[in-house]
A and B are shown apart, each in its own frame.
Chain A
Amino acid sequence: MRTKPAKSALRPRYLKLHAVLVFGFLFAPIVVLVTFSFNKARSGTDWTGFSTHWYHALVHNHDALQAFRNTLKVAITATIVATIIGTLAAFALTRFKFHGRAGYNSLVFISLVMPEVVMGISLLVFFVKFAHQELGLTTVILSHITFCIAFVVVVVKARLSSFDNRLVEAAADLGATPLQSFLRIVLPLAAPGIFAGAMLAFTISLDDVVITFFTSGPGSTTLPLYIFGQLKFGVSPSINALSTFVLLFSFVLLAIGGAFSVRAARRGAGAIDATALA
């Protein structure tokens, strides 16, 4: 017993140092990137003074603005569709036992682990050679929905697997119709999971480069793809500014999403309380 406090007093100090270093490792490159987006110099790493010039230039960069609009169109559409059909699938996979369920779960798993390059190429070949579809915003959206579905299914399933089915039975015993019990019990309890799945789908769609790279055509460039293309011409402060903008956009989304999911979790817990009282 006497040796224990000494041990646990020693451990945290090294662990803390390690933690500080790893956090430094995680954030240093991002800080560097953001800092140099305010550099006056046209190129290189010579710090010649503070300037917001590259942000002003961004506002007049029509290609970047168009790419940003495309990104939003793709991410919003893909998230809505993937969340709806993925949630339905998650319900089926957790609330019913049926033949082929294991196979279906494997299919979801395959779509999760398939390398992005392989999925991108297979979709490209499908659109061009099989569906004879011209590559554009439509093919990008269809592709994004495809890889978002599995993420929604997995997240919603995780939430539903801890679901207490007795609540539905209790509601039925108290005279609730299946629709009522679905709308007033199942859906509020699943809501945080559905929301988390939608958030994940939106973030992944927003950031996707590889699958968009293969399935987009002229005029359907998204913001990450635009940045990827610009990198071929070398590093420039305007890419730093654009990247900073993208990072800021993700942070804001993360904050909004965090606030919402806390509220949704509370409301979900409220639903349990309500049914417990009933």
Chain B
Amino acid sequence: MSVAAADPPPAREQHAHRRRLPNWLKANLLLLPTSVWFAFLLVIPTAIIVGYSLGKRGIIDPVHFSWGHLIWSNYTEALNTIYLPIFIRSIEYAAISTLLCVVLGFPLAYWIARFGGRLRNVYLVLVIIPFLTSYLIRMYAWQFILQRNGLLNRLLGDVGLGRNHEFLNHPSAVILGLTYGFLPFMILPLYASIERMDKALVEASYDLGHGKISTFFRVILPSTAPGLVAGVLLVFIPAVGDFITPELLGGVRTQMIGTTIADQFGGTQNWPLGSSMSILLTAFILIGVFVYLRRVGEEAL
């Protein structure tokens, strides 16, 4: 006892020594490099885009910005009858792709987690491989298959169905590409939460007389909600602003907002309009994520 009583003072001294720097200072020192980095290469660039979105389109200099003369019409122009449909189309394509990813991904994730057996890790690697291989190359593979002198037309021609079909530049080609591209992003989080799910719950539900459909909606879906919420975010967010897929598999009719923004800084040279579109798209995603997590995520995550 007396030994134990004699022990604390040196220990406390040591603690005092360790905490000579207050925690907030230590934290800020550790954060300093990232803070400086983000300040210069994330916050300032974003602030410039906000400023440009309130500027006037110029001829020699692409943007004239003045504090006393903020131009709000870039925002109304970004939402006019030409560009609003592009916004809506992007959301539509991303939403349909997300839904398709759930429909394709959930049963697969469920099968791997519950019935994968000894090969479970092999199946998982088969999902991770496309997850880690170049998105561009995977889209190019579809371009190779779907283009006018591509593989699909050739195969159709061989069986006498004509070899001159137009598959690209069609909404379904872009949606196919987005679904294909982001499917692994849905499967992996779904797998993680299905694997954690208590199997006894499913059996209990059957024993209590619930059918398959009722068990799915009342037991399986709620207990895998965290994975589903994460998967939906991981697919929808990159899909809605995607640039590569509409560029490679789409055309004028299927233009999405990502390509439209890029155009304003490339060919069209309307930087203020492109900036206002960028701010609207980013704001939409942030507000959307916030509302979505508020409504479904809070109990799920």
Interface positions of A (Cβ within 8 A of B) = 1, 3-4, 7, 11-12, 15-16, 18-19, 22-23, 25-27, 29-30, 32-33, 36, 43-46, 84-86, 88-89, 91-93, 95-99, 101, 104, 107, 110-111, 113-119, 121-126, 129-130, 142-143, 145-146, 149, 153, 172-173, 178, 203, 206-207, 209-210, 214, 224, 227-228, 231, 235, 239-240, 243, 246-247, 250-251, 254, 258
**A210 pairs with B243, CB closer than 8 A:** yes
User: Within the complex, which residue of B52, B107, B126 is in contact with A26, where a contact is CB–CB below 8 Å?
Assistant: B126
**B107 pairs with A92, CB closer than 8 A:** no
Tell me whether chain A's interface is mostly helix, strand or loop, or mixed: helix
User: Within the complex, which residue of A32, A118, A228 is in contact with B136, where a contact is CB–CB below 8 Å?
Assistant: A228
Alpha-carbon gap, A87 to B125, bound state (A): 26
* Residues on B with beta carbons closer than 8 Å to the beta carbon of A209: 135-136, 244
User: Within the complex, which residue of B115, B145, B275 is in contact with A12, where a contact is CB–CB below 8 Å?
Assistant: B115
CB pairs A–B below 8 angstroms (29 shown): A4-B207, A11-B212, A12-B111, A19-B108, A23-B108, A25-B104, A26-B130, A26-B180, A85-B34, A86-B34, A88-B34, A92-B31, A96-B30, A98-B27, A99-B24, A110-B286, A115-B238, A115-B240, A115-B281, A115-B282, A118-B282, A119-B45, A125-B48, A145-B41, A149-B37, A153-B34, A209-B135, A239-B140, A246-B137
Given A89-B30, A89-B34, A113-B285, 8 extra CB contacts under 8 A: A25-B180, A30-B130, A98-B24, A119-B45, A149-B37, A224-B134, A247-B137, A254-B128
* Residues on B with beta carbons closer than 8 Å to the beta carbon of A119: 42, 45
**B27 pairs with A92, CB closer than 8 A:** yes
Alpha-carbon gap, A209 to B262, bound state (A): 13
B92 interface residue (CB < 8 Å to A): no
**A114 pairs with B282, CB closer than 8 A:** yes
**A91 pairs with B143, CB closer than 8 A:** no
Contacts A32-B145, A123-B45 known; A96 to B111 CB distance under 8 Å? no
Alpha-carbon gap, A15 to B212, bound state (A): 13
Max count, chain A CB within 10 A of own CB: residue among B110, B137, B265, B275: B137
**B41 pairs with A250, CB closer than 8 A:** no
B147 interface residue (CB < 8 Å to A): yes
**B285 pairs with A126, CB closer than 8 A:** no
**B132 pairs with A117, CB closer than 8 A:** no
Alpha-carbon gap, A178 to B46, bound state (A): 39
User: Within the complex, which residue of B105, B135, B258 is in contact with A117, where a contact is CB–CB below 8 Å?
Assistant: B258
Closest CB of chain A to B249's CB: distance in Å? 11
**B15 pairs with A44, CB closer than 8 A:** no
* Partner-binding segment picked from B71-79, B81-89, B148-156, B221-229: B148-156
User: Within the complex, which residue of B31, B44, B237 is in contact with A130, where a contact is CB–CB below 8 Å?
Assistant: B44
Closest CB of chain B to A154's CB: distance in Å? 12
Closest CB of chain A to B62's CB: distance in Å? 8
Alpha-carbon gap, A157 to B14, bound state (A): 28
B residues 16-64 touching A (CB-CB < 8 Å): 18, 23-24, 26-28, 30-31, 33-34, 37-38, 41-46, 48-49, 52
**A111 pairs with B289, CB closer than 8 A:** no
Alpha-carbon gap, A95 to B282, bound state (A): 31
Closest CB of chain B to A172's CB: distance in Å? 6
Alpha-carbon gap, A26 to B282, bound state (A): 30
Alpha-carbon gap, A113 to B184, bound state (A): 17
**B136 pairs with A227, CB closer than 8 A:** yes
Contacts A18-B111, A45-B149, A117-B278 known; A172 to B132 CB distance under 8 Å? no
* Residues on B with beta carbons closer than 8 Å to the beta carbon of A247: 133-134, 137
Closest CB of chain A to B162's CB: distance in Å? 15
